[in-house]
Amino acid sequence: MTHFGHKDEWQHFASKHEATVEAVTAAHKATLGLLQSAQAKTESPEQKTILALGLACLKEFEEIVLLCGNGYGSGANKLLRTFFERVTTVGYLGKRPDKVQQFIDFTPVHWHKLLTEADKKHEKVGLSEEEIAKIKADFEKVKGEYQDACTCGKKRLQGSWTKKPVPDMAEDVDKDLRLMYFNAFLAPTFLIHATYFGVMRVAGISESGKLHFFKPENEREMARDTLSNAHLLLIIMGIVVNKFFTLEADGVLEGLGKNFERVCRIEHEAGQKGVEG
């Protein structure tokens, strides 16, 4: 049977970051429990949206852990950007449930973009005439709500469901979340796009100037840092869900926070020893 993954990387990561693995496992279990409790209380569209975002966050966290454990730190770092955006969005909507419908109503804009591209470049769209007509009608209903001023003086469709930039939303959710924007959103963006900065960060260049074929050291370092950021984001998501659904799990989340601080100290001390050695 063919196995996908790198056993040597699993073993390296598990032995090198034992305390971190234990802590993120505990955080995953606790936040899964919070989401399950929230599911039992979910009725309104606002609650369903917050729950769906929370579940998406949990799944993304699992994907990040999988990549980190297999030596794909750069891949995990790319996902960290979307994870940060989801946590920021669920946090913002958790504080502003009046904005949930605005978030939902942008969906016809997404469908219309897909339809426009399919209609332009593909012979068969794969939708019935009735489905196409509905997409166009739904788009016409909401497009006026998502207009952005252009420098030419005309109006155009805005690129997202809200005009509020991601860092500003993060600031509204939590000042610590805003501080994470640099490492958890902006820097990973350079890895997602085709940038010289991103390529060189992954590949690396030796002191002699030789280009490496993706240095394991670079990947492992990114895996460590990415998982640390993802760990904290998962806890923030748990705090949002706990407060929005009044789950009364403050003690559990406080314990997760202390656990996070503990493993950060352990990782820092291990890093210092590595430098000294």
pLDDT tens, residue by residue, 1-51: 566 778 888 889 999 999 999 999 999 999 999 999 999 999 999 999 999
pLDDT-derived band at 276 (thresholds 50, 70, 90) equals: very low
Q: Using pLDDT thresholds of 50, 70 and 90, give the confidence band for residue 177.
A: very high
Residue 213's pLDDT is 64
127 or 21: which leads in pLDDT: 21
* Nearest in space to 157 (alpha carbons), one of 167, 148, 166: 148
Residue with tokens 């409790």: 37
41 with 48: CB under 8 angstroms?
no
pTM given for the model: 0.91
**198/212 Cα distance (integer angstroms):** 14
pLDDT digits (tens, 9 = 90+) for 216-271: 788 899 999 999 999 999 999 999 999 999 999 999 999 999 999 999 999 888 77
